[in-house]
Amino acid sequence: MLILGRRLARTAPRPAALLQGLPYLPWVWAGAGFVALLGTAVLGVLVGPVHIGLGTVVQALVAPIPWFHAAAVDPGQASILWSLRIPRVVLGAIVGGMLAIAGAAYQGVFRNPLADPYLLGAAAGANLGATLAIAFAPGSTLIGVNVVPLAGFAGAGLAVAGAYALGQTVTGLRNTTGLILAGVAIAAFFNAVQTYIQQAQTSNIRQVYSWILGRLVTAGWDGVLLVLPYVVLSVAVIVLHRRLLDALSVGDDEVTSLGISARRVRLIVVVAATLGTAAVVAIAGTIAFVGIIIPHTVRLLVGRSYRVVIPLSVLFGAAFLMLADTAARTVAAPAELPIGVITAFVGAPFFIVVMRSTRAAAL
């Protein structure tokens, strides 16, 4: 199916199309994305220390539907499903989809294949915010919400806003290099402060490390509900910019001569991508690699237009992170591995295989 899909995507002319060679989402790949999403979700719900069969899962899923009379599910198992596994799987899908689409968006606005959602300091800012909260306000809450994710969210937003402001004062945002360098400077500074605090507060070092490496530990739906509004807004804005992200690929001057303000597109997309990234990072920590590997895999397999890369990145990013999380909590059970370790450990070799098999022609 892989080869068939590629053939279809690259060569099949659209029937009765006025223009040949326009990018479109191949149904094979869209279908494969949904199958992957569903498959990894089911796997994530089934796998765990307590054995729960597929039948029970289906019964538990249909039980809340009022006119559907299914056999009663054991309350213990129902509770494990509804308050542990299903929210965790859903959170994994949201985090993975968000990081992948944010990565694709950053690569588009910076016209840089190495861009990831953390390029402008979102990860460094979130890490510093969370470290400060863990070190100086452990266990505190603000309006009923744990202060650590709030501090992470604020840190990520502050770092990116700082990088943007710095980039503007230095180069007037005439090019993206100034902005990227400002992001590097901000990230380095935030990392230095974070490391200093972490070294000074060794009693919390494990907690800080676990936060930085990322995890999807969640009880109930709080985490999901907390990030969902930001992620929905962010994804919607990025999806609406698909055509403009393609247009940006001809460079700032030429896109300006087409009547499109490159700066405005860049600002809106960066703000949207950062908002979503900050939200998921605040809940799940700084999970690495998803934002780079997923968009590039989609590019290598299906094509480079953002009209294709953006929607497929969401589907495959979500599936990939659900799978990685299932692995993270099973390979060393009962202990849990940090999910960032799994995404890099599995993701890097997979990416190399994809690169080799497509000869990286599309990079």
Binding site for another protein (CB under 8 A): 13, 17-23, 240-241, 243-244, 246-247, 249-251, 253-254, 256-261, 303-305, 362
| Residue with Cβ nearer another protein (18 or 335) | 18
**CB 158 to another protein: min, Å:** 28
Q: Which is nearer to another protein, 10 or 138 (CB)?
A: 10
Nearer to another protein, 17 or 50 (CB): 17
Minimum Å distance from CB 355 to another protein? 15
CB of 250 to another protein, least distance (A): 5
Q: Residue 121 or residue 311: which is nearer to another protein going by CB?
A: 311
* Distance from C-alpha of 265 to C-alpha of 167, rounded to nearest angstrom: 16
Residue type, 114: L
Please identify, using beta-carbon distances, which residue of 141 and 257 lies nearer to another protein: 257
**For 349, how many CA atoms within 13 A lie in the half-sphere containing its CB?**
4
Give the list of residues 6+ apart from residue 220 with CB closer than 8 angstroms, or none.
83, 87
Q: Which is nearer to another protein, 22 or 58 (CB)?
A: 22
Produce one character per residue of 102-136: b if its CB has 16 or more CB atoms within 10 Å, e if not. bbbbbbbbbeeeebbbbbbbbbbbbbbbbbbbbbe
Smallest distance from the beta carbon of 106 to another protein, in angstroms?
A: 17
d(CA 103, CA 276): 11
Nearer of residues 116 and 246 to another protein, judged by Cβ? 246
CB of 230 to another protein, least distance (A): 20
**Integer angstrom CA distances of residue 170 from 193, 215, 254, 320:** 23, 37, 23, 38
Going by C-alpha positions, the residue among 125, 179, 176 that lies closest to residue 152 is 125
Token duo for residue 203: 């009693």
Report residue 35 CA to chain centroid gap: 19
Of 98, 105, 194, which is closest to residue 155 (Cα–Cα)? Answer: 194
Least distance to another protein, CB of residue 16, Å: 11
Cβ of residue 100: shortest distance to another protein, in angstroms?
A: 20
